[in-house]
Structure 1
Amino acid sequence: MGRLESIENIVELEQTVNKTKKFRLDYPVSEDLRQVMVSEVFRDFMIYAFDLYYDNENLSLLKEFVEEHNPKAEKQQGLLDNLFWWRLLYDSGPNPVNSCFDDYISDNHYTLRNKPFIKSWLRECSNVVPKIYFIGHKYNDRYLCCY
């Protein structure tokens, strides 16, 4: 008896900006589309978010938090930036009253009107769950040591 060989016909499903209307996490994104998503759309969103939300009211709360934890001087700006994005994503998370992603989509309606995939992807971005990782020594459940 002959040995059965498996022949695989693999068709790679790839999301493209022209043919796809909804962003799906489980499908790969074409390299051209990834370039547009990261280099153009998300960059524009970051500028939009900094202009709109990186204001004195938000910064004063975040600076107060950073100063209470007394990090090294060279780490303060990075920590402040990370906390800003964490707060922005946290506020835009599940069941948001006001999402910065929705604000961006509304304010850029004309530009995004023929790009349902990009709008779908931005809405999916609002479901990102921010996490902060502690790097340092944990003495016990009540005390952390930061250097």
Structure 2
Amino acid sequence: MAKRAKEEEEEEEGHSNPGTAEEVSPPPPKKSKKSSEKKPEKKPGKTKGSTKDSSPSDSSGKKGNVAKNVFTNADGEKFVDLGKKRRVTVRSFKGSVLVDIREFYGKDDDLQPGKKGISLSPEQWAELKANADTIDGLVKKLQT
């Protein structure tokens, strides 16, 4: 007990026994990720089959504009771009059709699917569409 009290007193005074306390140096400062080099300009993605001429609000409720918002990826799957690296892709996986709503990562010309997303069966997609008006009402209620 007396030895511990003596060590505490020495620590308070700024003295320590060479073998009893470890000197801890602060971690080195982290370097900023910003670099002085300019980032290369973003080029249109190679995976898009066509350009998008209309905004998403223009196509809602109009069947004629559907083809303008549909793109094709490198695997030949059709998708609709939701912006901010988010897509709705209609694809086939192990013989079943899926509606895949997912975030993508990587450079714009080489996007890869991320973990964040959901794959819906045609039945689940139909249920979501059937409840779209109810969901819209709930969203509007929370926004006011």
Between the two structures, name the one with larger relative contact order (CA 8 Å, sep ≥ 6): 1
Quick check: TM above 0.5? Answer: no
When the two structures are superposed, what TM-score results if normalisation uses the length of structure 1?
Answer: 0.28
More helix by share: 1
When the two structures are superposed, what TM-score results if normalisation uses the length of structure 2?
Answer: 0.29
| Bigger Rg, which one | 2
More strand by share: 2
